[in-house]
Amino acid sequence: MYGHERSLVNSMKGRPFALLGVNTDKSLKVAKAAVKKNELNWRSWFDGSGGDIVRKFQIRSFPTILVLDHNGLIRFKNIRGSALDAAIELLVKEAEGAGMSGEPVDTGEYRIFKTADGKHEVEAAYVKYTSGTTFLRRKDTKKVVEIPLKILSQEDKEYVREKIRASRGK
């Protein structure tokens, strides 16, 4: 199974596509070993047994495949093989037709982004938003960091939403 996902990630480079995994191994140590052993080339979150992600998405069996479009809507569930490839190609073309690309764009506008609880902040420029995640380029290291939109301050959420609207020409 992992070979197909690796090839998808590689073949979709530069296009508006992201593969995300959720790991429910019994410990973070086991999860990290699995990522290394299986040479995963995509982002994988550790959710533990019965974690928030599994609960919120009502995952009942593994693996569960959810295919979301560029608006964050689940469009396909538990498809595999050529049906999965066709669905991904369809949705990537839709995203491209909506003006999205897979390449981050650095606006050069640096500002302080804060978490809603005020405990963390980073000086960064908005790069892009996809699937609930905001991508920011840190000013100090120039590295792109991924931050869930839901943990940002209300002001920063509005800033990101305005950037999304602007990128769609609205």
The answer to whether the CB of 126 falls within 8 A of the CB of 107 is: yes
33-37, 62-66, 105-109, range with the lowest pLDDT: 105-109
Domain-located, residue 52:
yes
pLDDT of the residue at 104: 58
Domain-located, residue 124:
yes
pLDDT tens string 123-156:
999 999 988 899 999 988 888 899 999 999 999 9
The answer to whether the CB of 51 falls within 8 A of the CB of 24 is: yes
pLDDT of the residue at 107: 56
Domain final residue, candidates 37, 71, 97 = 97
Q: Are residues 90 and 35 in the same domain?
A: yes
The answer to whether the CB of 34 falls within 8 A of the CB of 2 is: no
pLDDT of the residue at 160: 93
pLDDT tens string 158-167:
999 988 888 7
Mean of pLDDT values over 60-83: 92
Residue 105 has pLDDT above 60, yes or no: no
Domain around 132? 110-167
Ramachandran sector of residue 70 (left: φ over 0; alpha: ψ -120 to 50; beta: rest): alpha
Residue that wins the pLDDT comparison between 153 and 48: 153
Domain CATH number, residue 70: 3.40.30.10
Beta bridge partners of 20: 43
Q: How many CB atoms lie within 10 A of CB 12?
A: 16
Q: Are residues 11 and 55 in the same domain?
A: yes
pLDDT of the residue at 169: 66
The number of folded domains in the chain is 2
pLDDT of the residue at 71: 86
Q: Are residues 32 and 58 in the same domain?
A: yes
